[in-house]
Structure 1
Amino acid sequence: MIEKAGRNEVKRFIRFGLVGVMNTVVDFIVFFLVHSFLGSIAGQIVSYTAGMLNSYFWNRRWTFAQKRTRDYGQMLRFTAVNAAIAAGTAVLLHLLEGHLPLAAAKLLVTAAGVFINYFLSRSWVFRPHKIEDK
């Protein structure tokens, strides 16, 4: 039973990672399209938001297999987590921008955001409801 739970968690983390790759591609494409017009902070927020929308759809449906039609609490938690990560990564990107090449700084802040996002998504945003556990 514990082995199966462990395998399921590994599968879930791999799915989260695959969704994260898609999000990162969306994020990077949007960032480098808007960066020259908006600057690094606004560009980071816009690009992170594009990746966040992709993330919510795929993580809700595929990674964490949520079956409920609408859960406004979940949407609020998802938005809160991702807004905090977007703000934190925007500030960190701004601080690193003069010290590293922009692509390296963007990659570094993205990696930091991924780890925080998984743990908060798993434990708080997409937490299973008691009814689904039965």
Structure 2
Amino acid sequence: MSTGTRFAAVGVVNTLLDVGLFLLLHDRLGIVAANLVSTSAGMAFSFVVNGRFTFGARRLTLRQAALFLATTGTTMWLVQPLVIQALLRAGDAIGTYPGAPVVLIAKLLAIGVSVALNFVAYRHVVWRPVPRDEQVRRGRPQPQP
């Protein structure tokens, strides 16, 4: 199974967790707080499962955790709320609210933006591939892309 396929599988479960919590909480907590709670739960799940399963880390390190938090925190806690708010404002301006779950649509589109940004960051920053010469020196094979 390719890295992209594993990332997608983890992403489906992660998205269900994120969206479920967000929909459960957004009326009570507001969009920003609900997004913070739902994405935080998703981030904890994502760090462990993507690190071990998707990118084949033998162990999870503090360095990886810090890089993961920085990259994922930026997309989840900055990019997502900005995308959601922008889409909701656009929805108000063009009158798309009647009968449409605009909050859900905005959240799903924001997740799409985050997914693309996160995959690139995870692959090239958090769990970057080990160069072949270093693999040989360490005596271990690199996970296949």
What TM-score do the two structures reach when normalised by structure 1?
0.85
CA RMSD of aligned residues (A): 1.7
In 2: Cα distance, 1:128 partner to 1:61 partner: 14
Identity %: 32
Are residues 1:12 and 2:3 paired? yes
**Counterpart code for 1:93:** I
**Counterpart code for 1:12:** T
CA-CA distance at 1:71 after TM superposition: 1.2
Q: How many residues align?
A: 124
Answer whether contact 1:60 1:66 (CA < 8 A) is retained. Answer: yes
In 2: Cα distance, 1:57 partner to 1:75 partner: 9
CA-CA distance at 1:46 after TM superposition: 1.2
What are the Cα deviations for residues 17-52 of structure 1, in whole angstroms up to 9, with x where unaligned? 110111100001110111111111111121111111
Partner residue in 1 for 2:67: 77
CA-CA distance at 1:98 after TM superposition: 3.6
The higher radius of gyration belongs to: 2
4+ residue runs over 4 A deviation: 129-132
**Counterpart code for 1:58:** V
Structure number having the greater helix percentage: 1
Q: What pairs up with 1:92-111 in 2 under 5 angstroms?
A: 92-100=83-91, 101-111=102-112
In 2: Cα distance, 1:132 partner to 1:78 partner: 23
What TM-score do the two structures reach when normalised by structure 2?
0.79
Q: Give the gaps of 5 or more residues in structure 1.
A: 1-7
Partner residue in 1 for 2:98: none
Q: Give the gaps of 5 or more residues in structure 2.
A: 92-101, 137-145
